[in-house]
Amino acid sequence: MVRANFTIQERFMLMETRVRWGVAGAVMVVCAALAGPAAAGETNVAVAANFTEAAKEIATLFSAETEHQAVLSFGSTGQLYTQITQDAPFEVFLAADDDRPAKAIAEGYGVEGSSFTYAIGKLVLWSSEADLVKDQETLKAGDFQKIAVANPETAPYGTAAVEAMKALGVYDALKNKIVQGNNIAQTYQFVETANAELGFVAKAQLAGNESGSRWEVPGDLYNPIKQDAVLLKKGEANDAARAFVAFLRSPAALAVIEKYGYGVESAN
């Protein structure tokens, strides 16, 4: 799946974003029906880390309906975009913002007119400890040693977290307590494993998880996390890539997106 002209470092970076799944230790998530006719086609999809579980479920539904396969690679939006500009074999890009898809089109990597908002993210302050997080007063009190935040330079949820802290007037007091995750998935892991007492995560990451304590950050404390998808030029002639983009707007996909706590009111 990786072009021969990738450097060793680039190959490693691309593999690092892939999710290992199955006893064989594969580095790709291939969502395909386990039985039935051979898949009609395959598409490589770059997916923002916050959308991991929803993307897996959508890709499984996509495969069952179309017989196409979606090969999903996960990482921070900024890291994935850098790989796209370095000739990574991605054909569809599901970002955690609307800036990079627009930039992809402007810089010639994306197909004109193909981008749209597939989900609107929500930010949550979460701790694996019961009763630690109450509301914004938890941040103002600062009664903790470490708070996990995704890298605001590459991860839109990290940007939103910084915006929220600044809006509450607590950023300067807390910045030395920040433990920075490379992406929102690593940020979640920091909190889950108690390497940080609390942290800002995506609401979708807590779907089905009632453990710990949390506060859903009011949307007026940060700019809307509009997550856009775009068909990349590498996938323009690929039926599977075009079909996956179309499937994201289907009722079945939107139901999954809503189930994971995203907004979809502007998704079409």
Range 210-219 average pLDDT:
96
Q: How far apart are CA 179 and CA 45, in angstroms?
A: 29
The answer to whether 170 and 142 have CB atoms below 8 angstroms apart is: yes
Q: What is the pLDDT of residue 221?
A: 98
Distance CA 174, CA 139 (A): 8
Residue 8 known to bind ligand = no
What are 121-160's pLDDT values in tens digits? 999 999 999 999 999 999 999 999 999 999 999 999 999 9
Domains contained in the chain, CATH given: 8-120+225-259 (3.40.190.10), 123-216 (3.40.190.10)
pLDDT of 20 above 90? no
Q: Tell me what the mean pLDDT of segment 238-248 comes to.
A: 98
Is the pLDDT reported for residue 259 higher than 50?
yes
Instruction: Give 5's pLDDT tier (boundaries 50, 70, 90).
Output: very low
Give the model's pLDDT for residue 132.
98
Provide the token pair at 140: 């103002």
Model pLDDT for residues 64-119, shown as the tens digit of each residue: 999 999 999 999 999 999 999 999 999 999 999 999 999 999 999 999 999 999 99
DSSP-derived secondary structure for 75-104 = E-HHHHHHHHHTT---SEEE-SSSHHHHHH
| Residue 249 Cα distances to 24, 244, 255, 268, angstroms | 33, 9, 10, 7
Three-state secondary structure call for residue 135: coil
Pick from 134, 153, 11, 21: which is nearest to 83 by CA? 11
45 vs 6: CA distance, rounded Å:
18
Query: 0.85 exceeded by the pTM?
Result: no
**Half-sphere exposure of residue 145: CA atoms within 13 angstroms, side-chain side:** 6
pLDDT greater at residue 34 or residue 88: 88
The pLDDT mean for the chain works out to 88
**234 contacts 104 by C-beta, under 8 angstroms:** no
77 is in an annotated binding site: yes
